[in-house]
Amino acid sequence: MKRQIPLLLTFFAGAIPIFAFFVPEKHVGLVSTTLDSWLIIVAGFALLLGVVNVVQMNANKIKRQAQGWPYAIILLAGLAIMGFFGFAGSFNVFGGIATRPDGSSTPFDWLYKYGFLPLQGTMFALLAFFMASASYRAFRARNTEATILLFAALIVMFGRIPFGEMVSKWFPLATEWIMGKPSMAAQRGIMIGAALGAASMALRVILGIERSYLGLGKGE
């Protein structure tokens, strides 16, 4: 029974949206949208579970003085400070969580703008350097395929910058052709295959044939 109930629930949760896709009847649509709302509620509870896990894990790390435990203190302090101002702000203490009517920042807004966003931006900016190192490795002409890739990449890079157009008007045209024809064809091939794979996976999950995501193996 412990194994049958999750499979039964999966069947209904998977079959109802498919049914609603084809049947416009009001009640079917209502059940489908209600299921979506339930997902948000369940996610809310799961988030609480996640926060508890973060606190437990990092508190244990500090207690055991495990490798990198000072970072755990910073993490918990960040969680407590942001959590406090966010929670208090939601009850309109300190002027809420957004900007005040006079344009000044509430504590939560200030922490978000001047603490969180710059850190987030820094991580995103690192992408440029990682992209450069990855490109350097990818574009080494080790064999025929890699050499073709190198030439295609050079043409696309020249076609995407004003300098390329200045050198020759053919660069943007060749770039457009590479991106619109061979690259697009390959991407669509992958997308069609992936879409069929996803549909097949969904069918296996709905029918209870695929159970490994539940930790249930063969013969269960």
Q: Which is nearer to another protein, 41 or 103 (CB)?
A: 41
77 counts as binding another protein under rule CB under 8 A: no
Work out which of 9, 15, 50, 77 binds another protein, going by CB under 8 A: 50
Q: How far apart are CA 15 and CA 7, in angstroms?
A: 12
For the bound state, the minimum distance from the C-beta of residue 93 to another protein, rounded and expressed in Å, comes to 24
Segment contacting another protein by CB under 8 A, of 24-32, 85-93, 105-113, 155-163: 24-32
Q: How far apart are CA 169 and CA 15, in angstroms?
A: 54
Q: How far apart are CA 74 and CA 201, in angstroms?
A: 42
Work out which of 8, 9, 15, 47 binds another protein, going by CB under 8 A: 47
For the bound state, the minimum distance from the C-beta of residue 73 to another protein, rounded and expressed in Å, comes to 15
26 counts as binding another protein under rule CB under 8 A: yes
CB of 10 within 8 A of CB of 209?
no
Work out which of 37, 65, 67, 144 binds another protein, going by CB under 8 A: 67
39 counts as binding another protein under rule CB under 8 A: yes
CB of 59 within 8 A of CB of 76?
yes
Segment contacting another protein by CB under 8 A, of 89-97, 99-107, 126-134, 172-180: 126-134
1 counts as binding another protein under rule CB under 8 A: no
Q: Return the SS3 of 204.
A: helix
Contacts by 4-10, CB closer than 8 A, 24 or more apart? 6/214, 7/208, 7/211, 7/214, 10/205, 10/206, 10/208
155 counts as binding another protein under rule CB under 8 A: no
Helical H runs in the chain?
A: 4-22, 26-64, 69-90, 107-111, 117-138, 144-159, 162-167, 170-178, 184-206
Residues that bind another protein (CB under 8 A): 18, 21-26, 29, 39, 42-43, 46-47, 49-51, 53-54, 57, 60, 67-68, 71, 119-120, 123-124, 126-127, 130-131, 133-135, 137-138, 187, 190-194, 196-205, 209-210, 212-218
